[in-house]
Structure 1
């Protein structure tokens, strides 16, 4: 909606009015460019490759190469449930309970490696074909690659049935009895992190006839092809598997017992997750000491709470060894404050264990603490526009079972998952970075998706998150949420790299983020969000050494995903102005003296 032309009208307080309705609600946005200055990690502008669920392969995933390039991404992750079982030697992966516990070619095919060979025996694909396809595209897109490595313990050997029964549901087993099937124990290979010296040197074309897959051999394959992480083409980061809190746990209300109960037959314990993470991180650092390690990739709040991500509606359930870890200092850092971490005790125990192992190894084994965030209160448009506030805002109590009083989690308090985890890092393993390697607020087909996505990116930058990779369709209004930061004018122009203080007077109505660039310190970028379904007046007041005179404005609102130029400002006075923000909108202001 085009604001009225009011460039000649000045309010008594010197505010420049841009199409203000007398009945519109208002929110004040204050920006101070000298306060809270911190670098924004470009890696927060990322997504998970091949996670759109449409079976589009390679470049066609997420709408094709041009669509991907238009997002101006800075990082990509190849990870997810099926990557827990990806056998790099021949490209087979197992879908676990996501799809019939079927061993298949899903990862390789969707990654762009083509269809599996039906004439080469166990050699369905060349070694590492999916990894090569993924990283080659990252190099083309000039993005950081984060690659998930397997740690759970077993990998599939072959493909028995390319097409499991059509009646299969994600929580049903395809075949649960012994026999020539995808869950026959003879068809699983054992992961070994470090190949015994007695077996000879590491090979880039490993044998398919033994019972083992060596992860140092996988790393060697990648290093031989691309160089180590310090080279321009090398893979920079490795994640220590995926969602161990869901590998195998107490059966939930739908009789699901985890994502990989056949691959990992015993119930998951904290000690085993920690041991496997330490062992895999040690192998990564031995092979490439400068590569960054990410872990534990917990699936969400309940996993951070007590590892098992299950709750039956009245209580949570914990692994067998939980009593060993549900103790001080992990509960409250011996402060007695039960809500110091809002119950995320597993995070504390994990950080402490990785710190202790690093001290013993005389090298940092964990560079980045990673977790996943799928908000429990974002299914309606009303909730979605507020949902990202659970990452930081103490005043926002999301309407979910996590915050419900009496359930034993936050008991009516705001979740504050990012700020609480930052506190945990400071207390238990200082200088560890923070990453959200999967997240999704929904709303691809609704403008609220753009609001939630933009709000999340703003929070990631403001809160100092190191890397974030969206999981799902980075298209529609979700793409708009990316582009308002990374390609707002269609020429790859981006929100700059130095975050500055930006505050909204009413977080429920709106949000604001601001940044400047070291290369152009006289220009200020502001991204402002109107969460309301009605127009809102944004009253902006800026503290800056130099007065701004003009502003160009871009925005997204309504039913079109396009980011379009809005009416600009040409006579700003005393670094104050007002602007009519359309209903349910995100605006990007570029201010100049």
Structure 2
């Protein structure tokens, strides 16, 4: 196949440059922790918010699975000890493990494109999915494998497309490498309807998925035996009418998403009772409120439809996520089997330019404010959403009210600009919030290259010293007087009892921050920092001297600083799990038409997903 063809599903992999911890010596400068008392520190720099950590206060377990990625670079995966790696995205909705071929959906002209790297006679054993799993197993990462609920997979390894120009007529756009494959839109801008799904695909239901999981358990063992532990119930099925409209032109209804979840979830559990499932894997805000059918109809009709969408009206006005979780609970009660283990919803901030990587000063500031949408019920989202989101408390509330015991996952998210320090600062803030708010699992979509600044945000949690030192697993109470300027996260590490305190300066200016750690007394702590002073490395800084539990820190603008207080210096009690930050009562959520500039189907657009 031509080397000019688009990528085949994995992000580009770049060689990892060796990470060297730089020991700061000589005079204390912009990239250093100021080793002095808080009053002296404040006098030498602009005043920053006071930060307080209380190891004896509220404590909770932080899930290690929040630090995952999709299609992670192998070298970065190994260096970080990445906990979770997801095989996901639009192309995995219609992946056939038997012929190692996926349909690239609306991302690339609805084409069946065989994956490279194996000869047909070597399949399915040498498939790209198997190679993905085997790399994860070798490097210690847990695999999330996406399985199809859409009902169709590619019929063969031969190139085929959902909207042939020869068969369905001229189209607005065609593949330059395969001119017979169009985008399914006429030159006049009308969508082509009535095409034949069997042009590209064959039916694939519970028997197909169950057979695949049986094959994987025979090859790698059950989840309990070290095989594939997680299965994602498709990918953004509430957008099938957009992304996979060549085989699923009508939006998925409440009943379809429930019934396919029942059938495929049961098939997975029958093949591997120890595996865990994630669903319904919606695309974002409206996924919590509406079925795919309602999103399609209201996008077409507009107006009052958004206030009273027809599919929801037929279900007594109950928002989709509430109804779905209740139905999954009812299945377990009736059948004695839980077919949904994680409530999973994707999240891409919808503020203009944020997730797509714009890097002007206004977007940089918006990106860093937008992390508040994950937790703050008083923050009104600065996008077409235009209302408080408080995503993680809202998802937790949905589970507690409708299907207690279900865990929380976000298997796609991205706050953008991971090739900049601004993006790295946002990413560090997001990871800290995930841990503080009790999220159980998260996987970043389109992860950074190993030498991108965004990778250093992960290193600050998973390998800040270049020798495997990690942020702690037991969260402890930590507060900042102004989290818009400086956010703080703290956790105790089980291995050595050390207290790790991570501070994120989200302002562009250096700030002098007084840090108080209850019970710390007089103690010497290590410090590490990443920021604009050297975007290619994490620097180890001069030790921080605490006097009666207080120290002054000088934080450069756009920086991430880790202070490591040795075990036993600050006392605390064993963790109680979970104990995330409590929030105010959440306001009702309202479904809205997505703004044209940030329509959900644009998320992940382009070949390869």
The structure, 1 or 2, with the larger RCO (C-alpha pairs under 8 Å, 6+ apart) is 2
Are 1:166 and 2:176 matched, yes or no?
Answer: yes
Kept in 1: contact 2:185–2:192 (CA 8 A): no
Q: How far apart are residue 99 of structure 1 and its match? A: 0.9
Question: 1:145 aligned to 143, 146, 164, which one?
Answer: 143
Question: 2:154 aligned to 140, 153, 156, which one?
Answer: 156
Q: How far apart are residue 221 of structure 1 and its match? A: 0.6
Per the normalisation by structure 2, the TM-score is: 0.77
Deviations 1:355-376 (A, max 9, x none): 1111111122211111101111
Q: 1:135 to 1:21 in 2, by over 3 A?
A: farther
Aligned to 1:208: none
Give the Cα separation in 1 of the matches to 2:95 and 2:550: 55
Q: How far apart are residue 324 of structure 1 and its match? A: 2.4
Give the Cα separation in 2 of the matches to 1:424 and 1:489: 39
Are 1:222 and 2:216 matched, yes or no?
Answer: yes
Deviations 1:240-276 (A, max 9, x none): 111011001xxxxxxxxx1001121333211101110
Deviations 1:169-223 (A, max 9, x none): 99932898799x9x652542111313xxxxxxxxxxxxxxxxxxx2211111101
Q: How far apart are residue 3 of structure 1 and its match? A: 5.9
Are 1:82 and 2:72 matched, yes or no?
Answer: no
Specify every segment of 5 or more residues in structure 1 that has no aligned partner in the other structure, as ranges: 51-61, 195-213, 249-257, 331-344, 404-409
Q: 1:151 to 1:41 in 2, by over 3 A?
A: same
Aligned to 2:54: 32
Aligned to 2:63: 41
Question: 1:397 aligned to 380, 391, 411, which one?
Answer: 380
For 1:372-521, list aligned pairs within 5 A.
372-377=346-351, 378=354, 379=358, 380-403=363-386, 410=387, 414-475=388-449, 476-521=452-497
Q: 1:457 to 1:517 in 2, by over 3 A?
A: same
For 1:191-590, list aligned pairs within 5 A.
191-194=204-207, 214-232=208-226, 234-248=227-241, 258-308=242-292, 320-325=310-315, 327=317, 330=318, 345-377=319-351, 378=354, 379=358, 380-403=363-386, 410=387, 414-475=388-449, 476-521=452-497, 523-544=498-519, 546-547=520-521, 549-558=523-532, 560-590=534-564
Q: How far apart are residue 567 of structure 1 and its match? A: 3.2
SS in structure 2 at match of 1:434: strand
Kept in 2: contact 1:555–1:585 (CA 8 A): yes
Aligned to 1:69: 78
Q: 1:3 to 1:559 in 2, by over 3 A?
A: closer
Q: 1:128 to 1:222 in 2, by over 3 A?
A: farther
Give the Cα separation in 2 of the matches to 1:162 and 1:156: 9
Give the Cα separation in 2 of the matches to 1:41 and 1:316: 40
Specify every segment of 5 or more residues in structure 2 that has no aligned partner in the other structure, as ranges: 1-28, 162-173, 570-609
Q: 1:298 to 1:549 in 2, by over 3 A?
A: same
SS in structure 2 at match of 1:571: strand
SS in structure 2 at match of 1:373: coil
Aligned to 1:207: none
Q: How many residues align?
A: 505
> What RMSD in Å do the two structures reach over aligned CA positions?
2.8
Per the normalisation by structure 1, the TM-score is: 0.79
Deviations 1:113-158 (A, max 9, x none): x16x4xx5xx694357122111101111101111111011111202
SS in structure 2 at match of 1:280: helix
Aligned to 2:100: 91
Give the Cα separation in 1 of the matches to 2:470 and 2:223: 26
Using the TM superposition, name which of 235-244 and 24-33 deviates more.
24-33
Using the TM superposition, name which of 289-298 and 264-273 deviates more.
264-273
